[in-house]
Each structure stands twice: as C-alpha cells, then as structure tokens.
Amino acid sequence: MNHERLKGYELLLDFAKKLPDMLKRLPRGNAYLEDQIKRALSSAILNLAEGNGRYGIKERNRFFDISLASIAEVASVIDIFVVYGYISKITGIESKNHLRRAYSMIRKLKQ
C-alpha cells in the first residue's frame, strides 16, 4: 500500500506506539481524555492513509485536511496533559515536535 511509504504515516504510528506509556500516567477519572486522544490519533492515521489512496485532488486534500485537524486535536490534548500536570513539559514539547513533523509532511502532500 502506498500510505505505508509515507514518512508522516510512519511518524504517526511511532507516536501511537508511545501513547500507551503516556496514558499510564493519567489518574483515574480521565477516561474521556484517553478516549479523545486515541480517537483523534486514529483519525489522523486513518485519514492520511485513505487520502493517499484517493486519486482526485479535491478528495485527497479533504482527507489530508481531516488528518491535519486530528493532529491538531492530539496536540491540544497533550497541552491539557501538561497543564494538568499529567506529563512533564519536556514530554509535551517532545510529543508535539513529533506531531509537528508529521503535520508538516502531510501539508506538503496537499495540492
């Protein structure tokens, strides 16, 4: 599949592999945040793959836009984790830098 060759796809999957360790730090009562970040990250990955499988420019761009918006949502949840003290500021910065690289790569796919 073509999407598997995308560096942005690989970066998002790498982040997904690291997410469980981050989520272990959440105290009880935050299942809504855990669910939100998982759904947003899944959306980013799946929409990138689906968009890359489309041939029409308008259609491709629509899926890439959804992927980009989902990455922004993941980054916002990370901000919340930092503000609430669930993860360190450094972990938040590193996580967002990882997402920022993927975001930049997906933006370049748009025509």
Q: Per-residue pLDDT tens for 79-105?
A: 999 999 999 999 999 999 999 999 999
> CA 84 → CA 5, 40, 60, 77, 87, distances in Å?
36, 19, 37, 10, 8
Average pLDDT for residues 69-76, to the nearest whole number? 98
Q: Which pLDDT belongs to residue 2?
A: 86
Q: Which pLDDT belongs to residue 67?
A: 98
Whole-model pTM?
A: 0.95
Half-sphere exposure of 41 (CA within 13 A, CB side): 25
Average pLDDT for residues 38-43, to the nearest whole number? 98
Average pLDDT for residues 28-43, to the nearest whole number? 97
Cα–Cα dist 92/86, whole Å: 10
Cβ(86)–Cβ(94) below 8 Å: no
Cβ(111)–Cβ(61) below 8 Å: yes
Cα–Cα dist 80/86, whole Å: 8
Cα–Cα dist 79/85, whole Å: 10
Please give the CATH superfamily to which domain 2-109 belongs. Answer: 23S rRNA-intervening sequence (1.20.1440.60)
> Where residue 1 falls among pLDDT bands split at 50, 70, 90?
low
Could you state, in order of their start, the residue ranges of all structural domains in the chain? 2-109
Give the mean pLDDT of the chain. Answer: 96
